[in-house]
């Protein structure tokens, strides 16, 4: 039997309120899912090691860092600090690798074995910037894990790191013989990132 027009109208009016709550419930879920997908995409696309640096292709900034007190070479002599003059006018083909680290930095501890391998590369020199650290803690760190650095400058207030555009520790820079910054790696070096980093060291040596 076909319902009367009045009955059909009442039926549609009764159905409308039942539809609104379902839409109100679904809409937040859809919005949340969309935001979650967008966030996941941006997170996956982000690679901290690829953060840009305004210093690439420019001379190293002016700086002069004192040595880490108590740090000695195997022969017994003190390990020197480092300044801008130590990174410029180097022999042709020599590359200086600058690693910014701290004893309180867990990723620094994880990447430390790779620094030994960098220091062993022919034609390279590895130096360290000890960032906002306590000297005793920094000294214990290197005495425990080993010291791969030819020089260590103490950046107690972080001013030099600011001049170098450091986002956080660890970070590692490749400096050509003429004192030009050629590459910046943000975050810890890993077994996966090391081959590409070494390729960039060779590129810097060829300039």
pLDDT digit string (tens) for 97-140?
999 999 999 999 999 999 999 999 999 999 999 999 999 999 99
Cβ atoms of 186 and 169 within 8 Å: the answer is: no
User: What are the boundaries of each domain within the chain?
Assistant: 1-46, 53-205
Binning pLDDT at 50, 70 and 90, where does residue 150 land? Answer: very high
Q: What is the mean pLDDT of the chain?
A: 83
- Tell me 115's DSSP state: H
Q: Residue 154 and residue 18: Cα distance in Å, rounded?
A: 69
Cβ atoms of 81 and 135 within 8 Å: the answer is: no
Q: Across the strands, what pairs with 100?
A: 129, 171
Q: Give the DSSP per-residue string, 58-93.
A: SBPPP-EE-B-TT-B-TTSPBPP-EEGGGGSSPPTT
Give how far the C-alpha of residue 113 lies from the chain's centroid of Cα atoms, to the nearest Å.
Answer: 17
Is the overall model pTM greater than 0.85, yes or no? Answer: no
Q: Residue 95 and residue 174: Cα distance in Å, rounded?
A: 7
Q: Residue 15 and residue 17: Cα distance in Å, rounded?
A: 6
What is the pLDDT at residue 55? Answer: 87
Binning pLDDT at 50, 70 and 90, where does residue 26 land? Answer: low
What is the pLDDT at residue 54? Answer: 80
Q: Residue 168 and residue 166: Cα distance in Å, rounded?
A: 6
pLDDT digit string (tens) for 49-102?
455 568 899 999 999 999 999 999 988 899 999 999 999 999 999 999 999 999
Does residue 185 surpass a pLDDT of 80? Answer: yes
The CATH class, in words, for 53-205 is alpha beta
What is the pLDDT at residue 52? Answer: 54
First to last CA, the chain: 91
């Amino acid at each position: 039997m076909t319902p009367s027009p009045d009955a059909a109208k009442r039926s549609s009016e009764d159905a409308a309120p039942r539809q609104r709550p379902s839409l109100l419930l679904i809409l937040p879920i859809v919005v949340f899912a969309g935001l979650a997908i967008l966030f996941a995409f941006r997170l996956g696309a982000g690679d901290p090691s690829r953060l840009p640096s305004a210093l690439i292709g420019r001379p190293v900034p002016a700086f002069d860092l004192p040595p880490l007190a108590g740090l000695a070479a195997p022969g017994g002599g003190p390990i020197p600090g480092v300044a801008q003059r130590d990174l410029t006018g180097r022999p042709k083909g020599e590359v200086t690798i600058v690693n910014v680290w701290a004893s309180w930095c867990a990723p620094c501890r994880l990447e430390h074995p790779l620094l030994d391998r960098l220091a062993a590369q022919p034609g390279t020199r590895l130096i360290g910037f000890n960032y906002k650290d306590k000297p005793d803690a920094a000294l214990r760190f290197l005495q425990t894990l080993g010291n791969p650095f030819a020089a260590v400058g103490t950046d107690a207030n972080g001013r030099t790191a600011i001049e170098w555009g450091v986002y956080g520790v660890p970070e590692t820079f490749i400096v050509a013989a003429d004192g030009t910054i050629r590459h910046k790696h943000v975050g810890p070096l890993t077994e996966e990132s090391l081959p590409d980093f070494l390729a960039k060291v060779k590129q810097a040596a060829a300039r």
